[in-house]
Amino acid sequence: MDFKTWQHVFKLDPAKQITDEHLDRICKSRTDAILIGGSDHVTLENILHLTERLHQYTLPVVLEVSIIDSVIPGFDYYFIPTVLNSDNPQWIKGLHHEAIREYGEILDWDELVPEGYCILNAECKAAKLTQAQTNLTTEDVIAYARLAEHFFRLPIFYLEYSGMFGDMELVKKVKNVLTETRLFYGGGIDSATTAKKAAAIADTVVVGNVIYENIEKAIETVQAVAETAD
Ligand code: 1GP
């Protein structure tokens, strides 16, 4: 299944615990895909453990690569973030260069999907880790979206509010300038209501934390997005 058709994605953090029952509900929820990713304590071991548990399900599974040593074969896609609003080139192209130096000969480029991240919640781990410049005007964010689509020609522009529900007016303005590049929105979707608001604008909504806080609410977001996006 092509990631360009996905409307709802669950993001599982390999460093967090999830019971078999909850994992089963997530995988049978009719979400379009599972994205495995996190900022903290991600290791090869916990990725392997989670991946093995997902093998029995047929839905697409994507590894969002945050540490090079965690890359293992077998995923449908590898999403590779480049943090456009980072002040540290390491997170824009440094780690990528390092990985390509190491594995360039054997990479299957068709499986790699670069994501242009714009991180807007200053308090989230990803913002701190990547030294993201989050104090941005609407014009700044729109310019990052255009940079992603027209300059770097990235297939995904990801507005990341991880941990808080974002400014939907801003998300709408960003959506309005994107044509080819898909707009992913993630952050603070914790109910059918917030899921509908985000799905009314973004192409793909990413639901993370609520999986671990309230599984019922997490499951509700799938139907909410399907109703809204259609
Ligand atoms: C995190 O964008 C995702 O990378 C989802 O955010 O955990 O706040 O749902 P939440």
Q: Tell me: the pLDDT tens digits for 123-177? A: 999 999 999 999 999 999 999 999 999 999 999 999 999 999 999 999 999 999 9
Instruction: State residue 1's pLDDT score.
Output: 63
How many angstroms separate the alpha carbon of residue 200 from the centre of ligand 1?
17
Q: 122: Cβ–Cβ under 8 A, 6 or more apart, which residues?
A: 132, 134, 135
Residue nearest to atom 1 of ligand 1 (CA): 162
- Token output for 171: 């998300």
pLDDT < 70 positions in the chain? 1, 230
Length of the chain in residues, anyone? 230
160 is in an annotated binding site: yes
Which of 42, 207, 219 has most ligand 1 atoms within 8 Å of its beta carbon, as the pocket-test mutant?
Answer: 207
Residue nearest to atom 3 of ligand 1 (CA): 186
| Spatial distance between the Cα atoms of 123 and 203, rounded to a whole number of angstroms | 25
Does 188 contact ligand 1 (Cβ within 6 A)? yes
Count of structural domains within the chain: 1
212 is in an annotated binding site: no
Does 32 contact ligand 1 (Cβ within 6 A)? no
Domain containing residue 114: 3-229
Instruction: State residue 73's pLDDT score.
Output: 86
Residue nearest to atom 9 of ligand 1 (CA): 208
Angle, vertex CA 125, rays to CA 109 and CA 79, nearest 5: 10
Q: Which ligand 1 atom lies nearest to the CA of residue 210?
A: 9
Instruction: State residue 193's pLDDT score.
Output: 98
| Spatial distance between the Cα atoms of 195 and 31, rounded to a whole number of angstroms | 13
Does 204 contact ligand 1 (Cβ within 6 A)? no
Instruction: State residue 104's pLDDT score.
Output: 87
Instruction: State residue 209's pLDDT score.
Output: 97
Does 186 contact ligand 1 (Cβ within 6 A)? yes
How many angstroms separate the alpha carbon of residue 35 from the centre of ligand 1?
11
Which CATH number covers residue 129? 3.20.20.390
Q: Which ligand 1 atom lies nearest to the CA of residue 186?
A: 2
Q: Which 3 state secondary structure label does DSSP give 14? A: coil
